[in-house]
Structures are given as C-alpha cells and as structure tokens.
Amino acid sequence: MRSHSSTYYRLTHILTSLLVVTALLADTSVAEEPVGFDVLKRCAKVSGGLDAFAKVNSITMKATISVSQQGVPASNSVQGTLESHFIAPDRAIVIVDLGSLGKSTRGVQGEIAWESSDSGNRKLKPSERKRLLDSISLRETFEPTSVFASFTNRGKEMVDGEPCYRVEVSRRGNDEADQIYYSVKSGLPMRTIATRHTMGGDRVVDSKVNQYKTYKGLQVATEIRQLMQSFKLIHDVKVHTVEINGKIDESVFTPPADLEKS
C-alpha cells in the first residue's frame, strides 16, 4: 500500500465535500419527478434550512480514517485522522494524517490557497481553491446555484436496495461532473460518484454515507465509506467531533512561508 501514498493526498478535497449532507423530494411517479433545481432546493431545506446556514460563522470537524485494500485482511489496514476548520468567508484548512504513509494539508487564507505534502508545497489553482471553500463552508448544500453550473435529475436508480434520484452536477469553471444519489424515502444523499482529471488519468471515487447526525440543526454525515476504484483502496471515515461557531485560532490557517511570500 505504501506505493499508493500519493493518492491519499487527494483525500482532503474529496472528504470535506462529504462531511455535510443534504436531501430532496419524496417519492413521485416518473412523469412527476422533480427537476434538478427543485432537488437541490429541497436539499438545503432538509439539511437544516437557510436560516440555520446564515448563523454559521465557523466549523470544526474531526474524524478517524481507516485505509484498506480490497481483498486484503482488515488487520492490515492503516489508521489515520482527518481534521478541518473553517472561518467565514475565506479561511479553510483540511489536514489528513496517515502516519508513515504521509500527511497532506490543503488550506485557504484569503486569496492564498495551497497544498502541502511530503513531496513539498504548491499553490492551488483557482478552481481548487473555490472547491475547497465551497465544500467546507457548506455552500455546496445551501447555495448550490453559486457552486454548480448545472444540475440535472437523471431519474431513479437503486442504491443498496433503496430508490434514489441520481442528480448529475457540474461545477462552475470546471468540466468535471459528479453523480449524487438522494434517497427518495429519507431525502438524504446516499452515494456520490466523483471523477477527477489528473495527470495520471481519470480517478473515480465512489462514496457511500452510512450514518447521519444533527448538529445545531444541520445534517452531518458521520460515517462514510469511499472506494478509490483505480487503486482498489477503501477509506472508512468516522466523524467524532463537530463544532459549529466555536472559537478557532487564526494561526491554523497560516500558509507555508515560501508560499506566503510568493
């Protein structure tokens, strides 16, 4: 598994987008299925509503990660941690620590956005900066029209025996499209399939949410399983701490010195 350590550095912007979850319309006939905009609109409502979102000034989340490989005994899994912090409107950081397999940090401090890993530091592209802020700030859920250029309901499909609406979304300033599956019964997202274009080719991440909890009226996914299909790697994420509007030291958002001055 050590040879795949570079793939772990992509965890931050993928995992953060799964920590807060949303919902959509109840069951209807195929002819009456909601359009994509209606699905996302109800997403915001069921996830806590715009009034609750307007009160969010800061967010801290902490989770554990277990990394294993398909076909390999669970006893060989690698344990790690994930930690994220956000202060409105433009302070964000996500830290993924997998011990001997590497540590990755993605952060935003105003207009400065960066990634740090064992291989060095780099500035994030504007699209990467926007994606990190959109996901960690909850804008993906509560202000979807500012995040997504399009959102199309592709109809019903089954996920683990439960009917879901499959909504295809594309991001503004980005040609990547994600598939999000929302439970018709509960209204909560059950699955996300995200494709990322990299220098090594397309990477597909298939994520399923197994548990939700409510914090300050907001729905939060607290148990997530991800499959990185290219490498047959499984990431089990369990969120154990969520703090909304708590005090966060501004120093945690300080970028690496070489990037801060550039």
Q: Where are the domains of the chain?
A: 2-260
Q: Which amino acid is at 114?
A: W
- CA quadruple 236, 238, 244, 247: dihedral positive or negative? negative
Helix segments in 70-143, DSSP class H? 126-136, 139-142
Instruction: Determine the Cα angle at 139 with ends 202 and 113, to 5°.
Output: 60
Architecture, CATH, for domain 2-260? Clam (2.50)
CA 53 from chain centre, in angstroms, equals: 17
For residue 203, CA distances in Å to 119, 126, 231, 240 come to 20, 20, 9, 28
Give the pLDDT band (50/70/90) at residue 3.
Answer: very low
Residue 78: is its pLDDT beyond 90? yes
Q: String of b and e for 195-217 (b: at least 16 CB within 10 Å)?
A: eeeeeeeebebebbbeebeebee
Inter-residue long-range contacts of 182-185, CB under 8 Å, 24+ positions, other chains counted = 182/22, 182/23, 182/24, 182/39, 182/43, 183/23, 183/159, 184/24, 184/25, 184/26, 184/27, 184/156, 185/26, 185/27
| Beta bridge mates, 206 | 193, 227
Q: What is the average pLDDT across 230-241?
A: 93
- For the stretch 122-144, pLDDT in tens is 999 998 899 899 999 989 888 98
- For the stretch 237-258, pLDDT in tens is 999 999 999 999 999 999 998 8
Enter the pTM of the model.
0.82
